[in-house]
């Protein structure tokens, strides 16, 4: 709705200058409000955008021969899905604005000729529809920006940053409920989600009186804990030294650095016992703690105040390391009002699970090497041993690959480049400039530093290069490489690592779940597998001499299969009888990658939907040459209808890793910060 006390000339034009754009971006007040999630069934919700001009520069209409302003914004759901993306734009004539979809989460808002110019103090509010629902502030993305052709874009200050102050409240059921519709069976489906009131939150945290027990500070809880009395030792009072068997030199150095205690020059023999104020790391074959399979990581920790002696015994260096982590946890307790004081005790422990993993996605939001070190430290504290490193996705390629410089020159950056020749689009609200969490990558040396840090903490790094879907960053980077070499008339080199068929159109039209075109590698091109082999080879080289690579994870999730529909290269596979139909393309792709992985002596990792396609039965394990195929099972809540897939996969012989996706997700760089329903905090992800 246009609000103004003046009659405005619709033909009034503004000759934009950079300082005008800067002023408007600094002062324009934008408000985003979800209006109604329920009236559109499960298909649509309605929202509104308000623009209020707070500066003398007029926001004018689109006139002939005059540059006009455009607002670019990220939106998690497809805007006006009854029209976009099939149409190039949708015109909201009553408001005088046009909405269009570029790619992924990027949309733009532009004035039409009929737009009533906004002078200082004027405001415009218009409504639009979007797909599905939006039930929390964290569904709205920040850093909308203003652009005029030929000028530098500027972030609109009112939308800047993750505070999301421009997002209106979710204060009625129409706004925070996600769905209300009738199933074909006639049964009503209604969202039971209800945000907690302050009173409910308070009632869920009653006063709790718990007897202080410093042993409870060890997480996960040790398998067996025995108190030996009330005696205490103070590790920080001085005079302590560290001693170890020769096999544990790395672990004793780690503990020395953490406790600031010197290491004895004497290397202890297995049968030898040192006396005095000593922390001894000793090799010993322990009796079975849980089962023989997991006992290689078992340890025993004994604290004895009478002899001022602490001993950690284990069969392997990993067991010693986990015993050291337990000792560090005991030292950190505040039970005795000072760190370093530990009660007499004996702890016997071993892991319950062989695979204790953490998945971190740095493709959506980049995090520094130092941030990864911090995550690895916390993983070590909790005795976790697998670091699933999601290095690539549509929104970014985060690892230097020697010989394929475009992957990081183009694919590691997001900014304002609609053609994506120099960087990717500013997806997920990363803003128009190639800085911040949307940009960056790890050099080979950075990655090796991460490997060293993980290896010292007995954590295996499992790199994931997500394919064939979620590959927009790689696809665009290799297309830039192709165009550059073709311009130099180097056709053979240009086609060597090409990931899409220049003659296809479906890859430019088929959208992924995240609304991205050009996000799928083409399984019909031999150059696709040349590219994958190159990446695996470089990863193997990086891991060599630090932590030899064991598992290569190919991703395989959420593939837009329609992207291959009219590919001549894919049709050629059918015609040559390599596959029976296009329905077999995914199985063909995964099996080809598995062969490359096997060639390099590696096990294969894959997401669940890379093995179970379109809710069918899993691929037969026998098609893979790998000794092990790990399947990360993430679509695992009953609402997806795929919870039984874990049994199917296990029965077929796959090694199934259960992912607690819908409880705590680090995808897109967000850690769950709350365990209660809230429309304000980005906490628990709620499945429909």
* Residues noted as catalytic: 558
Cβ contacts of 370 within 8 Å, gap of 6 or more: none
Contact between 294 and 350 under an 8 Å Cβ cutoff? The reply is: yes
Q: CA neighbours within 13 Å on the CB side: how many for 621? A: 18
- Can you tell me whether residue 438 is helix, strand or coil? helix
Contact between 453 and 131 under an 8 Å Cβ cutoff? The reply is: no
Region of residue 109 (left: phi > 0; alpha: psi -120 to 50; beta: else): beta
CA distance 626 to 608: 17
Helix axes 317-331, 249-259, angle to 10 degrees: 10
Length of the chain: 688
Q: CA neighbours within 13 Å on the CB side: how many for 427? A: 29
CA distance 138 to 163: 10
* Structural tokens at position 32: 């985003």
- State CA 73 to chain mean position distance: 21
Cβ contacts of 446 within 8 Å, gap of 6 or more: 369, 400
Q: Which residue has the tokens 């849980």?
A: 290
| Cα torsion 252, 253, 257, 261: sign | positive
Q: Computed over its alpha carbons, how large is the radius of gyration of the chain?
A: 29
Selection from 396, 251, 411, 394 nearest residue 325 by Cα: 251
* Structural tokens at position 462: 């499992």
Give the phi and the psi of residue 592 in degrees, each rounded to 5: -65, -40
Strand partners, 101: 107
Selection from 54, 58, 53 nearest residue 11 by Cα: 58
CA distance 451 to 509: 39
């Amino acid at each position: 709705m246009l609000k103004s006390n003046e009659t405005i000339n619709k033909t009034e034009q503004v000759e934009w200058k950079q300082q005008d754009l800067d002023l408007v971006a600094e002062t324009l007040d934008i408000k985003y409000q979800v209006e109604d999630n329920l009236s559109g069934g499960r298909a649509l919700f309605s929202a509104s955008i308000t623009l209020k001009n707070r500066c003398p520069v007029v926001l004018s209409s689109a006139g002939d021969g005059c540059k006009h302003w455009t607002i670019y914004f990220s939106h998690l759901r497809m805007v006006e899905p009854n029209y976009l993306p099939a149409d190039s734009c949708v015109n909201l004539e009553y408001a005088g604005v046009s909405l269009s979809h570029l790619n992924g989460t990027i949309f733009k808002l532009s004035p039409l000729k009929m737009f009533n110019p906004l002078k200082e103090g004027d405001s415009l509010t218009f409504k639009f529809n979007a797909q599905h629902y939006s039930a929390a502030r964290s569904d709205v993305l920040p850093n909308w920006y203003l652009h005029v052709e030929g000028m530098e874009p500027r972030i609109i200050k009112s939308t800047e940053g993750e505070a999301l102050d421009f997002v209106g409240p979710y204060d009625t059921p129409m706004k925070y409920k996600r769905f209300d519709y009738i199933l074909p069976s006639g049964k009503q489906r209604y969202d039971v989600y209800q945000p907690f009131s302050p009173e409910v939150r308070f009632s869920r945290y009653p006063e709790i009186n718990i007897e202080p027990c410093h042993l409870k500070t060890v997480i996960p809880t040790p398998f067996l804990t025995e108190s030996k009395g009330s005696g205490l030792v103070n590790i920080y009072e001085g005079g302590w030294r560290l001693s170890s068997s020769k096999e544990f030199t790395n672990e004793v150095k780690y503990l020395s650095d953490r406790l600031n205690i010197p290491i004895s020059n004497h290397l202890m023999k297995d049968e030898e016992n040192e006396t005095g104020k000593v922390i001894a790391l000793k090799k010993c074959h322990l009796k079975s703690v849980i089962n023989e399979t997991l006992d290689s990581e078992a340890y025993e920790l004994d604290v004895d105040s009478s002899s001022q002696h602490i001993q950690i015994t284990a069969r392997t260096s990993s067991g010693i390391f986990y015993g050291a982590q337990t000792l560090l946890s005991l030292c950190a307790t505040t039970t005795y009002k000072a760190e370093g004081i530990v009660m007499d005790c004996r702890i016997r422990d071993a892991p319950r699970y062989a695979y204790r993993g953490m998945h971190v996605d740095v493709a959506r939001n980049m995090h520094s090497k130092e941030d990864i070190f911090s995550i690895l430290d916390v993983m070590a504290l909790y005795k976790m041993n697998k670091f699933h490193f999601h290095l690539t996705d549509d929104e970014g390629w985060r690892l230097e690959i020697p010989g394929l410089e475009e992957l990081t020159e183009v694919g590691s950056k997001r900014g304002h480049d609609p053609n994506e020749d120099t960087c990717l689009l500013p997806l997920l609200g990363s803003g128009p400039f190639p800085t911040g969490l949307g940009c960056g990558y790890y050099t080979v040396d950075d990655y090796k530093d991460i490997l060293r840090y993980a290896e010292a903490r007995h954590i295996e790094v499992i790199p994931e290069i997500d394919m064939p879907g979620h590959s927009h960053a790689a696809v665009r980077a290799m297309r830039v490489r192709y165009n550059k070499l073709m311009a130099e008339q180097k056709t053979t080199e240009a086609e060597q690592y090409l990931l899409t068929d220049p003659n296809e159109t479906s890859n430019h039209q088929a959208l992924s779940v995240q609304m991205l075109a050009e996000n799928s590698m083409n399984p019909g091109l031999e150059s696709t597998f040349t590219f994958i082999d190159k990446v695996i080879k470089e990863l193997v080289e990086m891991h060599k001499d630090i932590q030899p690579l064991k598992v290569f994870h190919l991703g395989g999730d959420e593939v837009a299969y329609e992207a291959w529909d009219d590919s001549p290269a894919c049709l050629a596979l059918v015609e040559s009888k390599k596959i029976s139909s296009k329905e077999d393309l995914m199985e063909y792709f995964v099996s080809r990658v598995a062969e490359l992985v096997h060639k390099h002596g590696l096990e294969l990792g894959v997401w669940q939907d890379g093995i179970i396609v379109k809710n069918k039965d899993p691929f037969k394990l026998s098609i893979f040459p790998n000794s092990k195929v790990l399947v990360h099972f993430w679509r695992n809540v009953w609402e997806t209808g795929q919870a039984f897939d874990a049994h199917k996969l296990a029965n077929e012989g796959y090694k199934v890793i259960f992912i607690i996706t819908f409880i705590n997700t680090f995808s897109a760089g967000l850690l769950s910060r709350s365990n209660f329903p809230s429309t304000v905090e980005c906490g628990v992800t709620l499945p429909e």
